[in-house]
Amino acid sequence: MAELLTVENLAVHTGPRPAEKIVDGVSLTMGESEVLALVGESGSGKSLTAMSLVRLLPRPLTAGADVLTLDDVDLLRATDRSMDQIRGGRIGMLFQQPKHMLDPTSTVGAQVAEPLRRFRGMNRAAARQATIELLRDVGVPEPERRARSYAHQLSGGLAQRVMIAAALAGQPRLLIADEPTTALDVTVEAQILRLLAAKKAELGMSILFISHDLGVVSSIADRIAVMYAGRIVEQGPAGEVLTAPQHPYTRALIECSLLRPGPSGELCSIPGHADSALRITSGCRFRPRCTATHDAHIEHQCAAAEPALATQSHATRCWIGMPTQVKEPA
């Protein structure tokens, strides 16, 4: 299968070097018509990873990578002018707060029409017609009337449908969806997830789906990459990662997100805090919070060095090769 997106050894620095790396050693590949979910808690670096692909990191953050290509385009060497063509064109984007992302001063129809005129060279009349088709296509009721609405007149779910229409207007090869359903109600969330899955199948685009919610991810992802403290700690096919997680952090995260009481009647949780992980300079970054059973030999390895992420289809950054039981939290 041809690779659509290849990322090798991506890092995000907090400023001019030498600076702290808040994303480090991230390597990803995505095939065509594939949904890769980046999962992690807040501060794990999942959004920064996505934003560095489209060169939208806020100052003073800087990104660097060994390889960063989309199709045949080298995103590392692309000029700012050609990045303008790529954002909204080959790479579409969706965000958590659709109403904040839409321009409040122009109609939503104009915002869907813009990429049509810009990337597909349509004239005004053709773009207007295509806009209404696109809005109808993503399930906006009464598209002719809705095209003349402003962002504040739409509900959250409708605004996200409009954002999807605007993203699809550029005929993207890759859609970056950063927590696209987090601000929506559950019944609407289900509708938006169904819509994204249908569009993926219909148009053959790939989706980089960023979420903190494993439940949401499980219903849409083909593959999952779990991030912790700026690293990918586990990566593999969605079914395998969810049912046979190998990294203790992934296991704990899954157990937590089920919100299912354990034998003691308490919910499972991960002891300690993630905010200290960036200060760990040697060994595994999850070590202070890890509850997996270690023998002395492995314990020594955990402190000495950070395990590398193998290249096989389901890989994990953990010295414990075999899946083990998570201990009950104290």
d(CA 162, CA 131): 10
Determine, following the binding rule CB under 8 A, whether residue 330 of this chain makes contact with other proteins. Answer: no
Q: How far is CA 161 from CA 78, 143, 277, in A?
A: 30, 11, 37
Q: How far is the CB of 285 from other proteins (least distance, A)?
A: 15
Task: Give the one residue of 257, 287, 288, 298 binding other proteins; rule: CB under 8 A.
Answer: 257
Q: 153 to 182, contacts with other proteins by CB under 8 A?
A: 155-158
CB nearer to other proteins: pick between 77 and 273: 273
Give the angle subtended at the CA of 158 by the CAs of 157 and 164, to the nearest 5°.
95
β-bridge mates for residue 237, sequence order: 223
| 210 makes contact with other proteins (CB under 8 A) | no
Nearer to other proteins, 81 or 273 (CB): 273
- Measure the CA–CA gap between 196 and 175, rounded to whole angstroms: 10
Nearest to other proteins of 91, 196 (CB atom): 196
Nearest approach, Cβ of 255 to other proteins (angstroms)? Answer: 9
- 256 near other proteins, judged by CB under 8 A: yes
Does 33 participate in binding other proteins (rule CB under 8 A)?
Answer: no
Q: Does 321 bind other proteins (CB under 8 A)?
A: no
- 53, 7 Cβ separation under 8 angstroms: yes
- The CB-of-215 to other proteins minimum distance in angstroms stands at 4
Which tokens sit at 243? 């049912």
Contact between 41 and other proteins per CB under 8 A: yes
Of residues 232, 190, 191, the one with CA closest to residue 213: 190
Element (H, E) at 21: strand 21-31
Query: Can residue 22 be called a binding residue for other proteins (CB under 8 A)?
Result: no
User: One symbol per residue from 220 to 249: x for binding other proteins (CB under 8 A), - otherwise; what is it?
Assistant: ------------------xx--x-------
When the beta carbons of 37 and 232 are compared against other proteins, the nearer one is 37
Tokens found for residue 151: 């962002």
Tell me the closest approach of the beta carbon of residue 99 to other proteins, in angstroms.
13
∠ CA 44-189-142, rounded to 5°: 135
Residue 127 contacts residue 115 (beta carbons within 8 Å): no
Contact 11, 216 (CB under 8 A): no
Does 253 contact other proteins by CB under 8 A?
yes
Q: Is 126 in the site for other proteins (CB under 8 A)?
A: no
Where does residue 142 rank: exposed (0-12), middle (13-18), buried (19+ CB within 10 A)?
A: exposed
Cβ contacts of 72 within 8 Å, gap of 6 or more: none
Question: Is 2 a residue that touches other proteins (CB under 8 A)?
Answer: no
Alpha-carbon distance 179 to 41, whole Å?
A: 12
Closer CB to other proteins, 8 or 41, in the complex = 41
Query: Would you count residue 190 as binding other proteins (CB under 8 A)?
Result: yes
Q: Which of 66, 103, 133, 275 binds other proteins (CB under 8 A)?
A: 275
The distance of closest approach from Cβ of residue 71 to other proteins in the complex, given in angstroms and rounded to an integer, is: 29
Looking at 15, 204, 261, 321, which residue binds other proteins (CB under 8 A)? 261
Question: For 72, how many CA atoms within 13 A lie in the half-sphere containing its CB?
Answer: 0
CB of 42 to other proteins, least distance (A): 6
Distance CA 316, CA 27 (A): 13
Q: How far apart are CA 41 and CA 219, in angstroms?
A: 18
Q: Tell me how far, at minimum, the Cβ of 296 lies from other proteins, in Å.
A: 27
The residues binding other proteins (CB under 8 A) are 41-42, 141, 155-158, 185-191, 193-194, 197, 212-216, 218-219, 238-239, 242, 252-253, 256-259, 261, 266-270, 273-275
